């Protein structure tokens, strides 16, 4: 217990020094294309492929039963020690991946002990690049958003606020080089309402139209059949992995709400829903490779600022 107290105190002091640290990706304004700071360590993915993870971390709350949404709902607004322990376990989980898409993160409010959770996970799991997207600012009570952790140096990063009946949803778009091609990666968390979700997917489709190498991943709050056949993504060309598994709820997964979709020029070589109860969602891990004939694909088109 003494060691853990000292460890937490040391991390708390480090948080202050890490604020606006030299290895954070910065976005100057909403939907602005910006260069990412090249400082920090980088990693060239091995021939085994690019390892991606998508995880709704529920701000570090380890929900294990439906009734916990009520009996432990106070954890959504107040800090508690179990959250810090849970974040350590999440950091251990994500450290083996090249790119991590995080949903339901807290950017530094009362409930998280005024700690940017993405920043903490980047430090703990030693990711050289990270970005926190703030989508719903409730002042000191909650700083709700998405997060990106990356070992491969991104070339540009965009922060997009998605449309919808209720504001507070966003998408992070980043570009990076992999095996001499440029991949566009869209990380998002969609609304619960069908109408708002379709507006958001229409917005995302406009972002990726004409792009040959695209990955869209995150908590989409939708069944796969709805996305592929009855949404604005139906004619986008995006395809899932061959074998889809349920991701929610984590204690007894029965529906797939979290997805990874890619253009045919890319291959989802491995797909796995990880068994863990660190959130109310299970994370999705995939290994990404190139399609059978990438040389025949159209050259990537740079995004305009």
User: SS3 letters for 102-132?
Assistant: EEEEECCCHHHCCCCHHHHHHHHHCCCEEEE
- pTM attached to this predicted model: 0.81
Domain ranges in the chain are 2-291
| Predicted local distance difference test score (pLDDT) of residue 253 | 93
**Which residue shows structure tokens 């004939």?**
293
Tens digits of residue pLDDT in 37-56: 443 335 555 557 899 999 99
| Predicted local distance difference test score (pLDDT) of residue 64 | 61
* Of 20 and 273, more confident: 273
Does domain 2-291 fall into CATH 3.40.50.2000? no
Judge whether residue 75 has pLDDT over 70.
no
Tens digits of residue pLDDT in 274-293: 999 899 999 999 999 987 53
| Predicted local distance difference test score (pLDDT) of residue 37 | 40
Tell me the C-alpha distance between 89 and 22, whole Å: 25
Strand pairing report for 214-219 and 181-189: parallel
* Of 234 and 43, more confident: 234
Judge whether residue 90 has pLDDT over 70.
yes
Strand pairing report for 143-150 and 156-161: unpaired
Q: Mean pLDDT, the chain, as a whole number?
A: 80
């Amino acid at each position: 217990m003494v060691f853990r107290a000292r460890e937490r105190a040391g991390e708390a002091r480090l948080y202050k020094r890490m604020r606006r640290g030299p290895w954070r990706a910065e976005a100057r304004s909403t939907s602005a294309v910006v260069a990412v700071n090249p400082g920090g360590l980088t990693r060239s993915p091995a021939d085994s492929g690019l390892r991606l993870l998508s995880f709704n971390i529920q701000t570090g709350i380890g929900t294990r039963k439906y009734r916990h949404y009520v009996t432990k709902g106070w954890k959504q607004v107040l800090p508690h020690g179990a959250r810090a322990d849970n974040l350590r376990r999440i950091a251990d989980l994500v450290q083996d991946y090249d790119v991590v898409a995080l949903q339901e993160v807290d950017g530094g409010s009362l409930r998280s002990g005024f700690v940017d959770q993405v920043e903490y996970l980047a430090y703990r799991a030693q990711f050289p690049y990270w970005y926190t997207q703030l989508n719903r600012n409730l002042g000191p009570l909650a700083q709700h958003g998405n997060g990106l952790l990356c070992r491969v140096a991104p070339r540009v990063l965009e922060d997009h606020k998605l449309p919808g009946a209720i504001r507070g949803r966003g998408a992070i778009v980043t570009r990076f080089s992999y095996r001499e091609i440029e991949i566009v990666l869209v990380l998002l968390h969609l609304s619960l309402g069908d109408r708002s979700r379709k507006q958001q997917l229409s917005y995302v489709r406009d972002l990726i139209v004409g792009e040959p190498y695209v990955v869209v991943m995150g908590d989409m709050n939708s069944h796969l059949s709805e996305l592929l056949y009855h949404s604005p993504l139906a004619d986008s060309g995006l395809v899932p992995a061959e074998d889809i598994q349920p991701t929610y709820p984590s204690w007894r997964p029965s529906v797939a709400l979290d997805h990874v979709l890619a253009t045919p020029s890319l291959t989802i070589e491995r797909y796995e829903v990880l068994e863990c109860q660190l959130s109310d969602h299970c994370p999705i891990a995939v290994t990404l490779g190139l399609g059978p004939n990438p040389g025949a694909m159209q050259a990537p088109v740079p995004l305009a600022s």
